[in-house]
Structure 1
Amino acid sequence: MHQLGHFESFTFSEYEISVVLDMPYAFTTESYIYNIVLTEDGRKVERKATATSILKKMDDEWKIIKTHSSSRAVK
């Protein structure tokens, strides 16, 4: 079974992004809340998450060079 098959739902909210361009690079910081409802027992998981990424424009396309994300329980 595909891993996403364990989720009854997976939603995002309160999404914000900040982008800094320094050609040929872009640096992003994202924050969001995600909610997961598990198929097996209906358990709900809510997390506040942050992600940072470094992208590079190559051949007129943006490519992700590095990304990192982390999350914590919403209080």
Structure 2
Amino acid sequence: MSGYFVTEGRKFKGRQLTTLPVVLNRDLSRIINNLQLKSSHDLEHLRSIAQQRDEWTKLTARIRAAAEASQSEH
């Protein structure tokens, strides 16, 4: 995950690949406006939430509910 945010090297042109950081960012931005996965700092913040069992449980429940709501719309 940390390697995803390293900006060295050639940039990929074209459609963004579906990777774990991309999916996590999309899911997080659906439920919490100020929580995005755009940098290694954001990843560390997410890790700190994951270490707090109650907070992580609440966050994953919100992500699951948002995903289920999104699927029922289609």
TM-score for both structures, normalised by structure 1: 0.21
Choose between structure 1 and 2: higher strand proportion: 1
Larger Rg: 1
**Which structure has the highest helix share of the two?**
2
In the superposition, the TM-score normalised over structure 2's length comes to 0.21
